[in-house]
Amino acid sequence: MTEILLAAAAAALLSLDSVHVGQVMVSRPVCVGPVVGWFLGDVSTGFVVGALVELVWISVLPIGPYTPPDSSVAAAVAVSLAIPWGGGAAAGAAGIAFGIPFGLAARRVDVRLRHSLTERSEAVSADLIAGRPAPLGEAVVFGLAGTAAKTLLLVLAAGLLGRIAAPVAEAILGIAGIARGLAWGAALLPFVGLAALTDLLEIRHHRVPFLLGAVAAAALVLLG
Amino acid sequence: MNRVERIEIFLRSLLLQAAWSYGGMQNLGFLLAIDPALRRLHRGHALEAARRRHAAYFNTHPYFAGYALGVAVRMEEDLAAGRESNPKMIGLVKNRMAGPLAALGDSLFWETLRPLFSLSAVAAALLAPGNLRAGLLGLGAFLLAFNLPALGERWRGIRRGYLYGLGVIDVLKSLDLPGAIRRARRWGLFGVGVLSVVFVVAAPAPGISGVSAAVLAAVRATALAAALLAVGRKVSPTRIVYAALGLGLVLGIGGGV
C-alpha cells in the first residue's frame, strides 16, 4: 500500500511538468515509467512500458487550446498494473491496454480544470479592474493542486484495483496463448509510434532520408 | 532590467502555464512572470493599470514566451520613462508576436526536437530491456539534448526581446529557424529509417519463443507497413495501438505463433 501511495505521489509531482511547471519533459512516459517502476520494485518493466506508452501518442501535440490525452497518467497506470500482474512483455501490454483509457479519462478532468481556471482568470481580471487585490497566487495553486490531485487519485485507484485484480490477471496471463498474444502485441507497438513519427516529420517531403536510413541499417545488418 | 530581475522573470516564466485556462490561456502566467518588472517601474494606479494590461488574453509557445516577455519589459520601461505614450501598444505588440512565436515553437520543439530526442530513451529501453544503465543513459541523453535548447531559448528570449525590442522579430528571422527545422527533420527521418529496420530485424522479442527470426521480421515489417498506411489515412493512434494489440492476440491465440 505504501509503495503504491509513493508511486502515485511521484507520478503526481512529475505530471505537473507536462503543462504547469517547467515543461522539462520529466512528465513524459519515458521518465514517469521508470520512476513509478522504481517505487514498485521493478525499474526494468517501468522503462519498457514507459517507452511503449511514449510511442502511443508521440505525434499528439499540445497545440493551442487542444487538450491532449494525459500520457503521464497512462504510463503511471500502465506500470502500476503491469508490475503486480507479473511484469514482462505480456503484463506490460495488458497494463498499456488498461492505462490508455485512464489517460483519456485524465484528459476529461483536464478540460474541466481548465474551464474552472477560466472562471478564476476572469475573477482575477475583475479584481484588477476594480482595484482590489487579485488572487493570482490562488489561481496558480489551484491549477497545480488540481492537476496533482487528478494524477494522484487516478494512479492510486488503478494501483489498488491492479493489486485486487492481480490473482485474476495472473491467471489470465498464465494462459499460454494469451500471454504469447500480448507479447506479440508489445512487439508490434513500436511500429505504431515509428509510423506516427514519419508522418509528424513530414515524410511526404523527405522520403529520401528515411529510405537512406533504412537501406544503411539493412546493409549494416546484412554485413553482420 | 538587471541580471537579478532577469533571473526572477526567467524562474517565474517556468510557471507560465501554471494557471492555463481556455479563457485567458497564459494570461495569469504572463502577469506572474512580468510582475517584478512592473513593480520596479510603476507605482499606485499606474501599477494597477499595468497589471490589468498583462492579465489580458495571451498565448504562445512556452519556450518562446521569453521573447514576448523581454519586449513587454522594454515597452513598459519606455512607457514609464515617457518614451512611449500609448499603453495599448504593449498588449497589441505582445499579441502580434504571439502567433509567429507559437508557430516557430510548435514546429521546432513539439513537432521535431521532442519526438526525435525522446527516441534515444525509447530505443535504449526497448533494444536493451533489463539493462538499467542503457535505460538511464538513453533517458539522460533525451532530457539533456532537449532541455539545452529549450531552457536556453527561454533564457535567451528574455534578453533578446529586451535588447532588440520589436526588432527581435528580425533577429529571429536572421536565425533561419525554419531551415534548421527542415534539416533536423531530414536527419530525424534518416534516424527513424535506421530504427525501423533495427526494430524489424534486431529488437528483442521477450515472451515470444519458437518463432524463426525470418517469421518475426516478416510480421514486424508487415506491422510497420500497415501502421504507415493507417497513419497516412489519419486513423487515430489509440485505435492503431488497440489494433496492434488485437493482431498480437490473434497471432498468439489463433495463429499459434
Per residue in A154-190, pLDDT (tens digit) is: 999 999 999 999 999 999 999 988 999 999 999 999 9
In A131-170, the residues whose Cβ lies within 8 Å of chain B are: 131, 134, 136, 139-140, 142-144
Nearest to B18 among A21, A52, A188 (CB): A21
User: Are A136 and B32 a contacting pair, CB within 8 Å?
Assistant: yes
**CA gap B160, B64 in Å, rounded:** 11
DSSP run (H or E) holding B23? none
Q: What ipTM does this complex have?
A: 0.92
B58 - beta bridge partners?
B25
| Grid cell for residue A151 | 494524477
Helix (H, G, I), strand (E, B) or coil at B58: strand
Strands (E), chain A: none
- Phi-psi category of A23—alpha, beta or left, where left has phi over 0 and alpha has psi -120 to 50? left
User: Are B162 and B73 a contacting pair, CB within 8 Å?
Assistant: yes
Contact A178 B249 (CB under 8 A): yes
Neighboring chain A residues of B228 at a CB cutoff of 8 Å: 195, 198
Contact B220 A186 (CB under 8 A): no
B21 - beta bridge partners?
B25
Q: Is A126 on the interface with B (CB under 8 A)?
A: no
Contact A197 B115 (CB under 8 A): yes
CA-based nearest distance B2→chain A, Å:
23
pLDDT (tens place) for every residue of chain B, 257 residues total: 899 999 999 999 999 998 888 888 999 999 999 999 999 999 988 998 999 899 999 999 999 999 999 999 999 999 999 887 788 999 999 999 999 999 999 999 999 999 999 999 999 999 999 999 999 999 999 999 999 999 999 999 999 999 998 889 889 889 899 999 999 999 999 999 999 999 999 899 888 888 888 999 999 999 999 999 999 999 999 999 999 999 999 988 876 55
Q: Is A107 on the interface with B (CB under 8 A)?
A: no
CB atoms within 10 A of CB A195: 28
The identity of residue A5, as a single letter, is L
**CA gap A35, A47 in Å, rounded:** 9
Per residue in A114-149, pLDDT (tens digit) is: 999 888 888 888 887 777 777 888 888 888 999 999
**CA gap A103, A151 in Å, rounded:** 10
Closest-CA residue of A relative to B142 is: A25
**CA gap B65, B100 in Å, rounded:** 11
User: Are B9 and B35 a contacting pair, CB within 8 Å?
Assistant: no
